Amino acid sequence: MHQALQLERVLETALYVDDLNRSRKFYEEILLVKPLAVTERVCAYDIGGLSILLLFKRGATLEPVVTSAGTIPPHDGSGPLHIGLAIDAEELDAWERHLAMKGITLEGRTTWSRGGTSIYFRDPDGHLLELATPGLWQTY
């Protein structure tokens, strides 16, 4: 029976932020994403039509959330986290120019043995963001 079970992909990933409005401004202006849903405790962004990035106000999800659809258990996080976002190889230079124009400092750049390139920078809460081209992983 277990042989038939298989995860398809990461559907959602979450970062916890101190100031949701400040983080929304950063993600929308720097990463050029548009919100799918916004409340006082969370903002959801579609990432490439394949996954959802959730920005939660830190501490705002420490209690269960009961809705007509069911209960969402409590969760939270602290410290600088990391997420990697996929980009087309042909867009890497344009992303670097865009980030520079917005005053974003790159903390690192890695060219992987499979041929991909990653660039790294931080959001206002210190989370490490990675933009990566194909050739990073065996599956990407």
Dist. CA 85–CA 4, nearest whole Å: 29
Dist. CA 77–CA 25, nearest whole Å: 21
What is the predicted pLDDT for the residue at 3? 77
Average pLDDT over residues 15-25: 98
pLDDT in tens, 21-39: 999 999 999 999 999 999 9
82 neighbors 130 (Cβ within 8 angstroms) = yes
Average pLDDT over residues 34-56: 97
pLDDT in tens, 53-89: 999 999 999 999 999 999 999 999 999 999 999 999 9
Q: Indicate whether 97 pLDDT > 80.
A: yes
Nearest residue to 91 via CA among 131, 137, 43: 131
Domains and CATH numbers, the chain: 2-60+77-132 (3.10.180.10)
pTM over 0.85: yes
